[in-house]
Amino acid sequence: MDTATRQTVQVPDLVKRMLEPAGIAVNGSQPWDLQVYDSAVFRRTLADGTLGFGESYMEGLWDCEQLDEFFTRCFKAAVDGRLHKQGSWHLRLLDTLNILRHTVFNLQKKKRAFQVGEHHYDTGNDVFERMLDPTMCYSCGYWEKADNLHQAQLDKLDLVCRKLCLQPGETLLDIGCGWGGMAEYAARNYGVTVTGITVSKEQLALAQRRCEGLPVDIILEDYRDLTGSYDKIVSIGMFEHVGPRNYKAYFEVVNRLLKREGLFLLHSIGSPRTVNRTDPWTDKYIFPNGQLPSAERIAAAIEPRILVRDWDNFGQYYDPTLMAWWRNFDARWDELKGRYSQRFYRMWRYYLHSCAGMFRAGRGQLWQIVLSRVGEQVNYRSIR
């Protein structure tokens, strides 16, 4: 839309005041400024919060050249907090209902376990194969020495294996195995036998093909139905879907399945605060029923049966991971647009850039926690 049309958009004073601390202008000249094409953006954002704002972007009512930097500035200046305090009564009502929904209901109970797989992970393997690196890891890479996404993911997988002290002949359970990246790597490079579970049929099919010929068994199953006994257990990027009302049950499953001197590594995004809400746009369009754990809730859930051996935080590496995913997705969009709409493209851009902004602003953490059973003589020394 041309400049003359943008200049006719009337910007409410409230919006100007909320964006000013972030150094963001509406229809300004900086690459992180909002370019608003329809004043409905303001009405929908003030009434519906981030849901209305995100949907307006998906519909092409506004744009931004450096969307990641826009979100970084918003998160650093806590614009979202101002929006909730100064938005309409309707927005405050929605926020209250959001809190009640996550407080009263168990949104991640067993019969809802497969919903996130059907909604997000079953989007299409063609999307994820183009966006991710060859390991098909859909979680934060380890960029300590890496200068590209593939090496960062290989380094992350090796870091996990070394933290678990994997030894040839051991059995490894991968809770939330995705497309089999961890299972394949551990079986090939550390000589272990792996059982992986997923709630996504698309992930299941691809993971089984990738691990063919290896001592790897990939199954479609909820973690609560698991049986057996394992030397080591790992869970990478799955705990965000467990939900606080199920944390105790989750760790009880781990404690039951882990051999006496075994180790468990939990790799999860972490929230700096304990809250009973999720972002409404993310909940609707990306990860239904998800909720980020806090350190307080994890600590409460593991007592008194599980002991922390190591707690590592490298959340700063999620920003380059997310931006690498976006570059891959964008570069290969021509291969996807025959199956997916422009609205889908804008949804994916909004999702990856908003998450990158959150981590760049220090609002997101990435934890790798090594745990063992309390009372067992585990000779563990951190590799860090």
Enumerate the active-site residues: 355
Question: CA–CA separation, 254 vs 226, rounded Å?
Answer: 9
Closest CA to 258 of 355, 348, 171: 171
To which H or E segment does residue 35 belong? strand 35-36
Question: CA–CA separation, 19 vs 78, rounded Å?
Answer: 10
Question: CA–CA separation, 260 vs 245, rounded Å?
Answer: 26
Closest CA to 199 of 115, 136, 269, 137: 115
Copy the structure tokens of residue 63.
């744009």
End-to-end CA distance of the chain: 52
Angle at 119 between CA 116 and CA 122, to 5 degrees: 100
Question: CA–CA separation, 273 vs 140, rounded Å?
Answer: 20
Q: Which residues of 60-77 are buried (b: 16+ CB within 10 A; e: fewer)?
A: ebbebeebbbbbbbbbbb
Distances (CA, A) of 337 to 21, 126, 332, 341: 38, 11, 9, 6
DSSP string, 56-109: HHHTTSEE-TTHHHHHHHHHHTTHHHHHHHHS-HHHHHHHHHHHHHHHHS-TT-
Amino acid found at 59:
E
Backbone angles phi, psi at 266, to 5 degrees: -105, 120
